[in-house]
Structure 1
């Protein structure tokens, strides 16, 4: 702690762990699954109330329309919640971006709805780590920095979107807009339980592939049919066989079929791609197009593609290296060891990096078992990670990425 400046010590001493924990408990009691629009609206109101402590303009931004393919092969529109944006000192030349999400993976009908305490003092609950704890960290750090005047030389935007867990399809344009021209960005996905941060990330692409065959009687004239389920299955097997070290391919689901005595004329194959770099995206798209054409010809079926590579890979470039180094030094001066590990997981940090902005996207709490009914938050990390963010922000305000 001796390496901290007087201002940094003053700011970190302002961080109120009890208040942060109370926020997490209150927010964790609100179901805000991505499709729960009422719950998301409640969360947005609570978050706006918390952000009112900052000297900025608060607004809710409508989601961009997003469509999907249903199990019947038809295009449907998806509903999303509104996204919260806070803008502070927009006319200042040096500006930062802070990103988080209010949605969770736990829908209204998910059995995991309540908070409990483990014997070791960890808080277990839906979204407490991913990322309602992270949102508490973000807002506490910024509130403490603003209270001591440490951020007067910078401006910033906060984006808390409502659809990160399903790919940020209704907010990706907003992320790109807010990222433009920023010096750096901090995201509040959780760190690992030991505090390790995510480094480079792979990308992702999600596709729904509609296969249309021809129905026929399975006993009388099956040769007149074109089996869409068989074609979709063949397509899934061939795509899975095309995986490579830099390109993951996961055929995840086939919808379709019908009565046993009928050749099925419709199937929808869902496939996830995980490219590790830009070249792998091109490779994945070429494999997809070529395999679809082959299957369409061999099985005499029609095939329509829906989807995209919606999150590009996030490499660690020179700017990101400098930002990680700054975070590491801030951690060391707080008595923390800040490790880093590359991951195949994706988040809004991928989108921010694609806009050319250095980002560290796991500045949130320590915890684990996210996306499961055992999700837990290590409560002592609330103050710890808020202090890490606060010192990082103060140093960005003072010296940039130097």
Structure 2
């Protein structure tokens, strides 16, 4: 390691892999799929006990109500777990926010439930990279930072619904991010140390189409076929793809017996605009396509959903934050590179508040959202050191203009 002061060397010296690895194994052993409320409650208790080592007040925040369209086209309330918030030095003049999520993509009944070592460094297990390893190293970095006479205040927000779009925590994220100096989010980096720069936005939609039923042989002309309307809408939306805007019609529900003109269909689709301008273009595309299909097929269409993750462009302030992190990583001897990504996360929502955010501060790993998910355990301590050093340097020197 080069470029570290004696104070900085003392700051990171106590950080070791063993306690971070033990926490990761413990937490990855709890199934906390977004819909598993019991598992999420267990994770919240474990996280609360662990983060109680830090000064400040811990609270569990009730989720905002979220509705989801069912197979009959009716919106139904969806239960969610509570979100954990730790507030440290709320009176500080300069405050930051660190975020992560306790939920995973693996449902209670998913076969991928346990961890095993592929080799001495590669831990294969559900949520190890995304992001229980990240939460474990975030805590270790904060514990080290707290020993160096810190002055920055901070909030830690760990939500229970990131994997499904943070719909029940978006308002909480926006409230906590407001007026913060910067944000760090603990999504995993790639195994080679690659970090995410710009991200597209993301919107999930459920479009409910009501037609008119009729006998398919006796009087089909009196019917209004909702399946045909949904198919037409899907094709029109897909035709709107362009550079920087992906549109993915994913599923059509509905229909009925072969001898009946179907009067109900639900089209589910996702769109991902690269820029705020393309997000506006995407909204116009959806509106125009729905207007045309409604008129041509004489059906009623109701739209549910929208762009819940705004595009995350890179501002000058974000570049300044990236510069501090890059220099810290270099001084720690850690490989780091940057690339734009097609994925989305809570960093999108934080960036939408105008706060600079680096959202891949977690463990190095890969194959996330699959039964092959893994993390590199050798990155746990170095990435915790990176957290401590970044916070310490910005505390002492501020964020460059």
C-alpha contact 1:63 1:80 (8 A) present in aligned 2: yes
Residue from 326, 329, 340 that aligns with 2:327:
329
The one of 156, 160, 174 aligned to 2:154: 156
Equivalent in the alignment of 1:396: 394
Indicate conservation of the 8 Å contact 1:183/1:400, yes or no: no
- Give yes or no for contact 1:197–1:341 (8 Å, CA) kept in 2: yes
2:290 matched residue in structure 1: 292
Give the distance between the partners of 1:362 and 1:309, measured in 2 at CA: 22
* Superposition deviation, residue 147 in structure 1: 2.5
> 3-state SS of the aligned residue for 1:11?
helix
CA distance in 1, matches of 2:56, 2:99: 16
What is the Cα deviation at residue 337 of structure 1?
2.5
Separation in 2 of the partners of 1:241 and 1:397? 50
Whether the aligned pair in 1 keeps the contact of 2:309 and 2:349 (CA below 8 Å) is yes
Is the CA contact 2:2–2:333 (under 8 Å) kept in the aligned structure 1? no
> Residue 296 of structure 2 aligns to a residue in which SS?
helix
- Is 1:59 the equivalent of 2:59? yes
Q: Which residue of 2 aligns with 1:240?
A: 238
> 1:36-88 CA distances to partner (integer Å, 9 max, x unpaired)?
11100000000011101101100000001111111210010011100000000
1:109 Cα deviation after fit? 1.2
1:165-201 CA-to-partner distances (Å, cap 9, x unmatched) read 1111111111011111111110000001101100011
Q: Superposed, which structure 2 residues align to 1:245-260 within 5 Å? A: 245-260=243-258
Cα distance in structure 2, aligned partners of 1:340 and 1:246: 19
Aligned-partner SS, 1:201? coil
Query: Residue 180 of structure 1 is aligned with which of 167, 175, 178?
Result: 178
Match of 2:16 in 1: 16
Task: Please show how residues 372-383 of structure 1 align to structure 2 within 5 Å.
Answer: 372-383=370-381
Distance in 1 between residues matched to 2:154 and 2:119, nearest whole Å: 40
Deviation, structure 1 residue 219: 1.7
Q: Residue 99 of structure 1: SS of its match in structure 2?
A: strand
User: Is the 2:192–2:335 contact (alpha carbons within 8 Å) kept by the matching residues of 1?
Assistant: no
**1:227 maps to which residue?**
225
Q: How many angstroms does 1:16 deviate by? A: 2.4
Q: Deviation of residue 7 (structure 1)?
A: 2.2
SS in 1 for 2:377: coil
How far 1:110 sits from its partner (Å)?
1.0
Q: 1:353-400: per-residue Cα shift (whole Å, max 9, x none)?
A: 111111100000000000000000101010111111111110111111
1:132 aligns with 2:160: no
Higher mean C-alpha displacement, 387-396 vs 322-331: 387-396
Q: Deviations over 1:235-294 (max 9, x none)?
A: 001100111112111101111111111111100001111011111111111111111011
- Contact persistence 2:207–2:302 (CA under 8 A): yes
Work out whether residues 205 and 311 of structure 1, in 8 Å CA contact, stay in contact via their aligned partners in 2.
yes
CA distance in 2, matches of 1:294, 1:355: 35
Q: Do 2:116 and 2:124's aligned partners in 1 also have CA atoms closer than 8 Å?
A: yes
Among candidates 248, 253, 267, match of residue 265 of structure 2: 267
Q: Identify the residue that residue 104 of structure 2 maps to in structure 1.
A: 104
Which secondary structure does the structure 1 equivalent of 2:197 belong to?
strand
Q: Distance in 2 between matches of 1:35 and 1:173?
A: 20
CA RMSD of aligned residues (A): 0.9
- Give the aligned partner of residue 95 of structure 1: 95
> Is 2:214–2:220's contact at 8 Å kept on the other side of the alignment?
yes
Deviation at 1:120, TM superposition (A): 5.7
1:14 deviation in Å? Answer: 1.2
1:202 aligns to what?
Answer: 200
| TM-score, with length taken from structure 1 | 0.98
Q: Decide whether the 8 Å contact of 2:192 with 2:336 is kept in 1.
A: no
- Decide whether the 8 Å contact of 1:191 with 1:365 is kept in 2: yes
Note the C-alpha offset of 1:121. 3.3
Structure 1 CA distance for aligned equivalents of residues 257 and 127 of structure 2: 41
SS of the equivalent of 1:370 reads coil
Q: Give, in whole Å, the separation in 2 of the partners of 1:47 and 1:120.
A: 26
What's the counterpart of residue 310 of structure 1? 308
